[in-house]
Amino acid sequence: MLKLMKLSEYEHLKLHTRIMENYKEDGLYVQYIGITPYVNVFKPEYLEHIFPSTVNITKGDFYDTMKPWLGNGLLLSTGKQWFHDRKLIGPTFHFSILDQFAVVVSEKAEILTKCLQKEIEKNPGEAVNTFPFIINAALDIICETAMGVNIHAQEAVTKYTSTVHLTSSLIMDRLFQPWYWFDWLFYSLPAGKQFKSALDILHGFTKEVINKRKIERQSQNDYTDLENEDNEFNIDKRKRKAFLDLLLDQNEKDDTPLTDDELRAQVDTFMFEGHDTTAVAITWTLFLLGNNLEQQTKVHEELEEVFGDSEAPARVKELSQLKYLDRVIKETLRIFPSVPVISRELTEDIKIDNYILPKDTTVILAIALAHRNPAVWPDPMKFDPDRFLPENSKNRNPYAYVPFSAGPRNCIGQRFALLEEKIVLTAILRKWRVKSVKTLDTIKYGGSLIFRPSEEVFIHFTPKK
């Protein structure tokens, strides 16, 4: 623990990568923190024993730091409740519904390109610190699609935007500082008080939106938009159903509907899970294309082929034609899976080859290590989208590539995430060519909850024409 406390998030990742390379043929290793063993598993054949399980679905204990914020939402719940909630929420992510969300994403992507344009014009010829622009766009997108609320995160910093970022960083701080693990101590310190105050803002906002949605639905049979000009958050006035409405629709039909607190936990979960993850994926895709100009040229050629001179926003049908961009996103998520590790607490023994992983052990499903294992991926840090051509993928174990997890607990929003990434990347790359300032060897990033950059990601934007 003392050794880990002294390391930065980037150094943690480097340490685990070195260990993985030493044990790449073994496929797993045990790390003790104090007297607690953590079994890190990264071999596809071994992951295949854990991911598909319908029994070993309980998350590891370090997820408990998120419980005060996310309650028993889909990310943290387990057992019967998880199965019930997953079944209830599943239909809200049906692909036919995603078309509605695509309109919102395109509108926010257009605002993003205008914000980038302003920044480029402000300092001509200088590189732009890209991540803050993209994370605000992702937050805008998730707020409007999850709750039907336009918070204008890209145009002005609202209390909600800054509070989401503050809460996420306080959770991260807590993971790596053992004295913060004791609730009584944490909540008596300034960081704990700040965390509690931030939660009051987040929960208050979500509850307010849910209550207003419910009242509106009771007063009118058809879905109508809420209007409240005094609200800090300008609630959208267009006829479009948000995730919250779809969830309430499902909830009304269900035999055991969710309570108000359970509804809030689900919405808070999607807010948190749905903006950081896509923002880092989009940022890393631009970063890698800015370091691999040959592959970037192929992306531009494909965009030219599909869109020609049109400046109209991309339609879902056109996005499906972008096969090379699809492979570029896949390769980015191989090198930088948005969630690099998942943990499970085993509820029964698992036998893997000559090993027995005992009940109650915490297993770390090391997605980042599986994706960078040289025994599976030759020259793993080389950016090569053609790894995902059908002929190059056919003999690969399906668990060698799991950026959205796998099995019953896979990411319910993966189609939505990929749609968002494609729309935003297409909007940017139809306007500009990109060139990264740093390389993959020199940029630092953290590998705990989310694969976030640990420093500014500077990119040069040059107009295409």
pLDDT digits (tens, 9 = 90+) for 88-120: 888 877 767 777 788 899 999 999 999 999 999
Q: 146 near 236, Cβ under 8 Å?
A: no
In the predicted structure, residue 162 carries a pLDDT above the cut 80: no
What integer pLDDT is reported at residue 237 of this predicted model?
A: 42
Specify the residue for token string 């052990």.
361
In the predicted structure, residue 235 carries a pLDDT above the cut 50: no
Query: Predicted confidence band at 207 (pLDDT cuts at 50, 70, 90)?
Result: confident
User: How far apart (Å, rounded) are the C-alpha atoms in residues 40 and 342?
Assistant: 10
Query: Predicted confidence band at 232 (pLDDT cuts at 50, 70, 90)?
Result: very low
Beta strands, E only, 133-201: 149-150
What integer pLDDT is reported at residue 236 of this predicted model?
A: 44
Query: How confident is the prediction for the chain on average, in pLDDT?
Result: 88
Among 27-31, 61-65, 366-370, which stretch is predicted with the lowest mean pLDDT? 61-65
What integer pLDDT is reported at residue 393 of this predicted model?
A: 92
In the predicted structure, residue 452 carries a pLDDT above the cut 60: yes
Query: Predicted confidence band at 217 (pLDDT cuts at 50, 70, 90)?
Result: confident
pLDDT: is 378 or 165 the higher one?
378
Each domain of the chain, given as residue ranges in start order, spans 2-463
User: How far apart (Å, rounded) are the C-alpha atoms in residues 427 and 311?
Assistant: 9
CA dihedral 270, 275, 276, 282 (to 10 degrees): 140
What integer pLDDT is reported at residue 240 of this predicted model?
A: 62
In the predicted structure, residue 164 carries a pLDDT above the cut 70: yes
pLDDT: is 32 or 289 the higher one?
289
Q: Dihedrals φ, ψ of 452, to 5°?
A: -85, 150
Query: Predicted confidence band at 161 (pLDDT cuts at 50, 70, 90)?
Result: low
Which residues are CB-neighbours of 172 under 8 A, at least 6 positions away?
A: 448, 449
In the predicted structure, residue 338 carries a pLDDT above the cut 90: yes
Which residues are CB-neighbours of 81 under 8 A, at least 6 positions away?
A: 72
**CATH homologous superfamily for the domain 2-463:** Cytochrome P450 (1.10.630.10)
pLDDT digits (tens, 9 = 90+) for 33-72: 778 889 999 999 999 999 999 999 999 887 888 899 999 9
Among 228-237, 260-269, 300-309, which stretch is predicted with the lowest mean pLDDT? 228-237
User: How far apart (Å, rounded) are the C-alpha atoms in residues 241 and 270?
Assistant: 16
Strands 362-366 and 36-41: parallel
Query: Predicted confidence band at 230 (pLDDT cuts at 50, 70, 90)?
Result: very low
62-71, 163-172, 363-372 — which one is most confidently predicted on average?
363-372
Q: 419 near 102, Cβ under 8 Å?
A: yes
Among 147-151, 192-196, 278-282, 349-353, which stretch is predicted with the lowest mean pLDDT? 147-151
Q: Which amino acid is at 139?
A: L
What integer pLDDT is reported at residue 233 of this predicted model?
A: 46
What single-letter DSSP state applies at residue 58? P
Among 168-172, 277-281, 352-356, which stretch is predicted with the lowest mean pLDDT? 168-172
What single-letter DSSP state applies at residue 229? T
* Residue 116 half-sphere exposure toward CB, CA atoms < 13 A: 32
Beta strands, E only, 151-284: 234-235
Which whole number is the average pLDDT over 369-391? 95
pLDDT digits (tens, 9 = 90+) for 173-188: 787 777 888 899 999 9
